[in-house]
Amino acid sequence: MELVEIKRDLFTMPDEYCLAHCISADAKMGAGIAVLFRKKFKLSSLQEKALRNELEVGKCYKVDRIINLITKSKYWHKPTYETLTAAVSSMKEICISESISKLAMPEIGCGLDKLQWGRVKEILKEEFKQLPIEIIVCRL
């Protein structure tokens, strides 16, 4: 596993990268970088699943090349390191089952959700340590 932090707009990453971000189980995506994901990509299937209460905290859901980590139940809640770890573990399983070798993401859980990047980075390193995967963390 290789984790690299760069200064770059996440949405300019090449198409071979899956893009990961955190959302709530209600799939509101009304603030932060989730708004940009909602506008740039067709994530209506997630919103439909949310209406049917089918999105589970601690899981992630892939829509095209977007990996949506569900880290809290409602948009106004805050995730915990436990829910983030569970969602990252779910993301790892998707990467294994779909042979994904390139991920790009913001500092997940650290913007409006207020988690500390140092701890989140260690969670990513621990979960992905045995996988041949490149993770690019983009920040502006």
pLDDT over threshold 90, residue 43 = no
- 132 contact partners, CB below 8 Å, separation of at least 6: 1, 101
Dist. CA 76–CA 62, nearest whole Å: 23
- Tokens representing 103? 């991920």
Q: Is 64 a catalytic residue?
A: no
| C-alpha triplet 136, 77, 138: angle, nearest 5° | 15
- Total tally of structural domains belonging to the chain: 1
Q: Is 26 a catalytic residue?
A: no
Average pLDDT of every residue of the chain: 96
- Tokens representing 71? 């880290």
CATH number of domain containing 90: 3.40.220.10
Domain containing 46: what range? 2-139
Q: Rounded to a whole number, what is the largest CA-CA distance in the chain?
A: 38
pLDDT over threshold 90, residue 47 = no
Dist. CA 55–CA 69, nearest whole Å: 10
**Catalytic one of 113, 121, 125, 129:** 113
